[in-house]
A and B are shown apart, each in its own frame.
Chain A
Amino acid sequence: MAEYKIMTGNEALTHGAIAAGMRFFAGYPITPATEIAELSSELLPKVDGTYMQMEDELAAAAAILGASAAGKKAMTATSGPGFTLMHENVGYGMATEIPCVVVDVMRQGPCQGVATLPAQGDFMAVKWAAHGDHPVIAIAPSSVAETYTEIIRAFNLSEKYRTPVFFVSDATLAHMSEKIRIPDASELEIVERPQPTCDPDEYLPFNMEDNGIVPMANFGSGYRWFASGLIHDDTGFPVKTGNTVAIEGASRHLLGKIEDNIEDIQKWEEYKCDDAEILILSVGLVSRSVKTAIDAAREEGIKVGLFRPITLWPFPGKRFAELTAKAKTVMTCEMNLGQLSEIAAQYTDRDQKIVAITQSDGTVIQAKKILNAIKEAK
C-alpha cells in the first residue's frame, strides 16, 4: 500500500534508490550529500546490500563500477568537490558501459565554495563530466516527492542503456522536508538487468555496430568478459591505433545509443505554456519559485509559462524550440551565473529577447525577484 511520509530530499533519494534495487553504495563524506551515505549505511545491510565508505571519491566511483560489474545496482552521492574527483572513473563507466547512478547534491561556488548553501553551478560540469566525447543522462528533480520517483527512473535508465546516470539535486532540496507519497512496490516500474542467454563462448560484451546494448553478464555468472577504458571493439579489447573506422565507430556508438532512445530518456514539464508569450526555462527546486511568479504575473494578465526539463541532459531541445518559436521573450532562471541561458540561446532567434535571471549568493531565487523580471521583460 502506498504510504505518506514526511522526509527530506536526501532521505527520499536514499529510500527511492533502495526501492529501485540499489544494493551497493560507496561514498565519501561531503556536505550536503552526507545524509545519503549515512542512511545507506544503516539501510543497505538490512536488505543484504553493502555500504562502503571509501578512502576518497576516486575510489567511491571505482567501487560502484566494480560492484555493478559483479551484478549489483550501485550508486554514489557527492557534491561539487567530490564530483570533480569522480569524473575520471565515471568516464570509465561511460566507456565500458557499466551502469551506475552518480548523485551530485550541488552546493555554492567553484572549488570549496560554500559547503552548506545551494546552487546550480554544476549543470555544465555534469554535461561535460569526464574528458572526451561521451554520453550523458542527467536528471534534476524539483521536489522531495519527485526526488523519490526520479531516482528510480535514474536507475532504470542506467540499466536500460548501460551507462552511468547523473542525478542533480541541491543543498536546499536535499535538506528540506516535504510530505510525499511513497508508492506501493507494485506501482513501481523497476528495470532489472537482463542477463545473456547465448552460449558463453559466443558472448560479446559490446555491440558497436547498431548502437547496440548487450546484456551485461554479472562477473562470476560463467560469461567471461573483458572491459578496458581504451577504445575497444565488440570483444572489449582495444582496437588497433590504425583502425580509424573502428575508433570513430566506437566513439559514435556511445552517443548514438542515447540519441536512438532520446524519447524514452527525455522528460519535462510544461506549466502554462500554451499561450505563453514569455517562456521561462528553469530546472530543479528554483522552478517552484518560477511557478509562483508565473501565477502572480498571470493575475496581472501577463502570458508567461515555464518549461522545466526533468531530464536535464540530453536537453529536451526539440520541444523547447517549438515553444520558444511561439514566444516573444525567453527567460532563464537559475542559481548560477548563466549556464541554461547559453543553452536557451541555441534555441532562440537572433532577434528574440533573452532575459537571464541568475543568482549565486547561496540562496534560492525568490518569486518576487522573478516576478519583477517578468514585468520588466514584458
Chain B
Amino acid sequence: MSEQHVYDKYFRADKLKTMWCPGCGNGIVLQSLVRALEETGTPLEKTVVISGIGCSSRAVNYLNTCALHTNHGRAIAFATGVKMANPDLKVVVITGDGDCTSIGGNHFIHACRRNIDITVVCINNNNYGMTGGQYSPTTPTGAMTKTTVYGNIDTPFDICDLAGAAGATYVARSLTYNPVHLKNTLKKALDHKGLSVVDAMSDCPSLFGRLNRLGDAPTMMKRWAEIAVPLAKAKTMTEEELAGKVVYGEFTDRKDRPEYTENYAALRLKAQGGK
C-alpha cells in the first residue's frame, strides 16, 4: 500500500480525479482549504461543507466530510439551517461568483447581516464556467464573455465591499496565484467566530481566459504578478495607478458584533425565564 499522506483523509479518493479543466483554479482553492482545515485542527466529523451550483461548487464532492451539494445560489441558506440546528458544527460554504452574488446574493448579504458563524469561500473567476462562459456580477466592465460579445457594459460587484457593508465580520481577498496567502487567509476565516468571507480570485482558462485572449493557464497565472496588489501597498497608490488592479488582503476583521447562534442561545435563555 502506498504511504498515507496527511491530507488523504480529507479526500474521497474514489471521486478523484476532479472534473475540472486543466489549469482551473478551483483545485488550488480546494487544496488550500484542506491545508487550512488541517492547520486549524477542525475535526472532519464536525465539519459540514455546503455548495450550490457551478464548477466551484463541485469541490464538495471531493471532500470527505458531511456535505450538501444544493441548488443554485442556495448554499448559504441551507448552511444557515445546519448551523442554527447544531452550532457545534463547523460550516463551510464553497461557492462561486455567480452562485454567491447573483442568484444567491440575497442569502449572502443576509448571512453577513446576521453574522452567523459560517465561512464562505467564494471562488471568483469572473464568469459562469459550468454553463460555458457567460458574464457574472464580477465580470470586469469591458470584458468579453459568451453573453457580452460586444464587451461587458455592467459594473462589477466588489465582493469584499459588499460583504463588509452587509456586516460580515471577517472579509478578505486572496488568490490562487499565492496559495500560501490563500491558505493563511482561509485559516483565519475558519478560526473567526462570525460570518467570514474569502473572495478567492481564481482563473478559468477554458472560458474567461480564452474569450479574453489571456493566454494559457500558466500565462494567466503569471498575469496576477502584474495585477495583484497587496492592500498595504494599494493604500499608497493613486486611483489611476490602481485601475485594472486587484487588491488583496484583509478588509474587515471585527470583533464588535455578536455572533448569531450565540445571540440565539441568549434569546432562548430569556424565553425560558433566565437572564
Give complex CA distance A228, B69 in Å.
5
Q: Which of A44-52, A147-155, A267-275 contacts B (4 or more CB under 8 A)?
A: A44-52
Q: Which of B57-65, B146-154, B210-218 contacts A (4 or more CB under 8 A)?
A: B57-65
**Does the CB pair A24–B81 fall under 8 Å?**
yes
Q: Known contacts being A59-B107, A70-B86, A225-B66, is A92 close to B71, with CB within 8 Å?
A: yes
Whether A66 is near chain B, meaning CB under 8 Å from some CB there, is: yes
**Does the CB pair B71–A229 fall under 8 Å?**
yes
What chain B residues lie within 8 Å of A62 (beta carbons)?
70-71, 74, 77-78, 80-81, 107
- Complex interface bits, A57-95 against B, C-beta within 8 A gives 1, otherwise 0: 011001111111111101000000000000011011000
Whether B162 is near chain A, meaning CB under 8 Å from some CB there, is: no
What chain A residues lie within 8 Å of B15 (beta carbons)?
237
Whether B195 is near chain A, meaning CB under 8 Å from some CB there, is: no
Q: Known contacts being A59-B106, A230-B69, is A45 close to B272, with CB within 8 Å?
A: yes
**Does the CB pair B272–A46 fall under 8 Å?**
yes
Q: How many Å from the CB of A37 to the closest CB on chain B?
A: 15
Q: How many Å from the CB of B204 to the closest CB on chain A?
A: 21
Closest A residue, CB atoms, query B84: A50
- Complex interface bits, B10-29 against A, C-beta within 8 A gives 1, otherwise 0: 00000100000000000000
Closest B residue, CB atoms, query A222: B45
Q: How many Å from the CB of B113 to the closest CB on chain A?
A: 9
Give complex CA distance A97, B247 in Å.
43
Q: Known contacts being A55-B107, A59-B110, is A46 close to B271, with CB within 8 Å?
A: yes
Whether A327 is near chain B, meaning CB under 8 Å from some CB there, is: no
Secondary structure at chain B's binding surface: helix, strand, loop or mixed?
A: helix
Give complex CA distance A63, B78 in Å.
5
Closest B residue, CB atoms, query A96: B68
Closest A residue, CB atoms, query B272: A46
Give complex CA distance A28, B82 in Å.
18
What chain B residues lie within 8 Å of A72 (beta carbons)?
85-86
Q: How many Å from the CB of A232 to the closest CB on chain B?
A: 9
Q: A59: which of B65, B67, B77, B272 is its contact (CB, 8 Å)?
A: B77
Whether B268 is near chain A, meaning CB under 8 Å from some CB there, is: yes
Whether A344 is near chain B, meaning CB under 8 Å from some CB there, is: no
**Does the CB pair A52–B81 fall under 8 Å?**
yes
Whether B79 is near chain A, meaning CB under 8 Å from some CB there, is: yes
**Does the CB pair B89–A220 fall under 8 Å?**
yes
Whether B262 is near chain A, meaning CB under 8 Å from some CB there, is: no
What chain A residues lie within 8 Å of B270 (beta carbons)?
45
Whether B7 is near chain A, meaning CB under 8 Å from some CB there, is: no
**Does the CB pair B264–A220 fall under 8 Å?**
no
Give complex CA distance A17, B268 in Å.
19
Secondary structure at chain A's binding surface: helix, strand, loop or mixed?
A: mixed
Whether A54 is near chain B, meaning CB under 8 Å from some CB there, is: yes
Give complex CA distance A46, B270 in Å.
9
Whether A224 is near chain B, meaning CB under 8 Å from some CB there, is: yes
**Does the CB pair A220–B271 fall under 8 Å?**
no
Whether B165 is near chain A, meaning CB under 8 Å from some CB there, is: no
Q: How many residues on chain B are close to A (CB under 8 Å)?
A: 38
Whether A226 is near chain B, meaning CB under 8 Å from some CB there, is: yes
Whether B161 is near chain A, meaning CB under 8 Å from some CB there, is: no
What chain B residues lie within 8 Å of A45 (beta carbons)?
264, 267-268, 270-272
What chain B residues lie within 8 Å of A65 (beta carbons)?
78, 81
**Does the CB pair B81–A227 fall under 8 Å?**
no
**Does the CB pair B69–A63 fall under 8 Å?**
no
What chain B residues lie within 8 Å of A224 (beta carbons)?
44-45, 64-66
Whether B46 is near chain A, meaning CB under 8 Å from some CB there, is: yes
Closest A residue, CB atoms, query B90: A220
Q: Known contacts being A58-B74, A226-B69, A229-B71, is A24 close to B84, with CB within 8 Å?
A: yes
What chain A residues lie within 8 Å of B106 (beta carbons)?
55-56, 59
Whether B8 is near chain A, meaning CB under 8 Å from some CB there, is: no
What chain A residues lie within 8 Å of B81 (beta carbons)?
24, 26, 52, 62-70, 74
Whether A128 is near chain B, meaning CB under 8 Å from some CB there, is: no
- Complex interface bits, B239-275 against A, C-beta within 8 A gives 1, otherwise 0: 0000000000000000000000000100110111000
Whether B100 is near chain A, meaning CB under 8 Å from some CB there, is: no
Q: How many Å from the CB of B17 to the closest CB on chain A?
A: 14
Q: How many Å from the CB of A322 to the closest CB on chain B?
A: 41
- Complex interface bits, A113-155 against B, C-beta within 8 A gives 1, otherwise 0: 0000000000000000000000000000000000000000000
What chain A residues lie within 8 Å of B45 (beta carbons)?
220, 222, 224
What chain B residues lie within 8 Å of A96 (beta carbons)?
68
Whether B88 is near chain A, meaning CB under 8 Å from some CB there, is: yes
Give complex CA distance A229, B70 in Å.
6
Contacts A/B (CB < 8 Å), 28 sampled: A42-B271, A50-B85, A54-B77, A58-B74, A59-B107, A62-B70, A62-B77, A63-B80, A65-B78, A66-B78, A66-B79, A66-B85, A67-B84, A71-B85, A88-B71, A89-B74, A89-B77, A219-B66, A219-B89, A220-B45, A220-B48, A220-B88, A224-B44, A224-B65, A225-B66, A227-B69, A229-B71, A237-B15
Binding site for B on A (CB under 8 A): 23-24, 26, 42, 45-46, 48, 50, 52, 54-56, 58-59, 62-72, 74, 88-89, 91-92, 96, 218-220, 222, 224-230, 237-238
Further 13 A-B residue pairs, CB within 8 A, beyond A66-B77, A67-B84:
A48-B268, A50-B264, A59-B80, A63-B77, A69-B82, A70-B83, A74-B81, A74-B85, A219-B82, A222-B45, A225-B67, A226-B66, A230-B69
The 10 closest A-B pairs by CB, nearest first: A66-B81, A63-B81, A62-B77, A70-B85, A45-B271, A67-B85, A59-B77, A67-B81, A228-B69, A66-B78
